[in-house]
Amino acid sequence: MPSLGSMIMTSVPQLLTDPFLQLPTKTSVNVVWFTEFCGKKHFVTYGQHLQQTAIATTSKLTRTREDQDSRVGQQTSPGQIYQQPVTRDIWRHEATITGLVPGERVPYSVTSVREDEATASSEVFTLAPTPKPGTPLKILLTSDHQLKPMTAANLQKVVETVGRVDGVYFAGDLVNIPDRASEWFDDNRGNAFFPSLQGRAHYQMSQNGRTVTYTGGKIIQHAPMFTCIGNHEVMGRWGRVASLDGEFNDTFPRHEHITAKNHSFNTDTYEEIFTLPESQFGGNTYYAVSFGDIRLVSLYITNMWRTPKLDANVKGRYREASKDFAHPENWGYGQMIYEPIFAGSQQYNWLKAELNSQEFQQAKYKIVMFHHPPHTLGDNIVPAYTNPVQVIDRDNQGNITSIRYEYPQHDDYIIRDVIPLLAQANVQLVFYGHSHLWNRFISPSGMNFLETSNVGNSYGAAWQDRQREVPIGYQEEYTKIGDPNGLEPVIPTIAPLVDTNNQPLPYIASNEITVFSVFDTGTGKISSYRFDTSQPDSPVIKFDEFKITHD
């Protein structure tokens, strides 16, 4: 079976994505786009009359594939075309546009020339360098798209409600399986990552006998995006299992004997797709960047998600499957942490230095973004964010009878080590995702915590009669209701949803109502909006707003 990229060229070439903006500086910005042909020339034309040209460099993605669970091309059901992972050839093109002036937007378009001289060009969009401090900006705060059902509707309503945004902060979980190319580019359900953020989606939602098609929004063609790594940006061991889903779930800890990515885990596709700011030790996996009045710190705080179920043959967060007791190569090692963040670790020391830097200290707005929640009503906050402690029980003959994992609450690295650093540095906003809901919190010191990741497939909130699923009889007693780390959720300030007793709810966790949040640096206000997809003609409602103060 040939890969999609090796199939016979059509008469008219097409770009796989529109261009998008990356790595703005005071006088430049990078333009990136993708094709399924290597081509002989790729370039950006820009300027008021598109009179200037910048030649792009081209690289090939090394791990993108499709498999039996891909929804791509004519495959609409599992295994219809592909029975196993198959390489998909995709090329990335990137040009740096220089000589820009802060505050001035410049038209641009991209063109790719195929080997047979046929060309494909984009529409004309606009670009700009990093805004100067004092420039009022609108920043979209989003996360956990993962091709969820309301993503295209969510992003379409962003543009319809607030117009063009100036930047996107994305708190992880961009897709589901990062090496599955179609999830980024052209899933045939119409809601892949790039189409949704570029207004090229074609996702249909049916409600009450009526079908509505949502296209997403033309956002990242005009606005640079800054992302962080969530658990869905991490792939497991290469080629040990016969599906990309299985490979994604086959992560394995790194230690002195196992350091190679193919034998543990990797973020290669994520890192190859994006050009992000870099730090000395973390590369683009954690970094800091100034954008207008904001100093953004993006951290690599995420772990492997495993099921809380305790069935005998489950490789879960609290136990290994019984059938694997004698096969340690198949162990999951619980919810292993990918990049250390505990006090004294390399990332922690980098963070400490960044918080003490002149760039950070002088910023009007100090924002820290990572994926795993420090405070939430969602389920994914338990167990504690710490390295799993493996406990192996044996019978009198030395045979393994159980392999379980404990997560000591007092060793939660986010709460014990990271949050005190952020509070001391006067961080105004901690932004994160992972639990697929909207809720927010304020610490006693006045630090704001926001989770605004409700685009579908909500897992609910631990509130009132709805409890988290936590194990019985384990060493730690995890909180079943509310925030396990002790903060009370904030009731939305404008138009909260209400329960059956007409009492306001401090969250939105819905598979019909989608939420997005926008930070206006001119006013210092973060506004959250909701849209009921079950009522497609209903208005977008601003339901919460708060202001982050600065020294």
What local confidence, expressed as pLDDT, does residue 474 receive? 73
The dihedral built from the CA positions of residue 151, 157, 163 and 165, taken in this order, carries a sign that is negative
Output the CA torsion 319→323→328→334 (10° steps).
-20
Within a domain: 188: yes
For residue 358, CA distances in Å to 289, 290, 353, 355, 364 come to: 12, 11, 10, 8, 12
What local confidence, expressed as pLDDT, does residue 8 receive? 45
Within a domain: 261: yes
Answer left, alpha or beta for residue 224, where phi above 0 means left and psi between -120 and 50 means alpha.
Answer: beta
Within a domain: 279: yes
The DSSP secondary-structure symbol of 180 reads: B
Number of domains in the chain: 1
Answer left, alpha or beta for residue 144, where phi above 0 means left and psi between -120 and 50 means alpha.
Answer: left
Alpha-carbon gap, residue 396 to 342, rounded angstroms:
37
Within a domain: 32: no
- In the structure encoding, which two tokens stand for residue 161, read together? 């409600």
Residue partners of 434: CB distance under 8 A and separation at least 6: 143, 144, 172, 173, 230, 231, 302, 371, 372, 373, 376, 378, 380, 451, 453
For residue 205, CA distances in Å to 16, 210, 305, 513, 532 come to: 24, 8, 29, 13, 12
Within a domain: 64: no
Within a domain: 76: no
Apex 497 CA angle, 469 and 547, nearest 5: 100
What local confidence, expressed as pLDDT, does residue 259 receive? 65
89: helix, coil or strand?
coil
What local confidence, expressed as pLDDT, does residue 208 receive? 78
The dihedral built from the CA positions of residue 382, 385, 386 and 390, taken in this order, carries a sign that is positive
- Spell out, as residue ranges, where the chain has pLDDT lower than 70: 1-10, 256-259, 551
Alpha-carbon gap, residue 107 to 45, rounded angstroms:
8
Alpha-carbon gap, residue 172 to 141, rounded angstroms:
11
Full residue range of the structural domain in which residue 464 is found = 131-547
Q: Which CATH number do you get for residue 318? A: 3.60.21.10
Within a domain: 88: no
Within a domain: 26: no
Alpha-carbon gap, residue 372 to 131, rounded angstroms:
29
- Name the strand (E) or helix (H) holding 347: helix 346-355
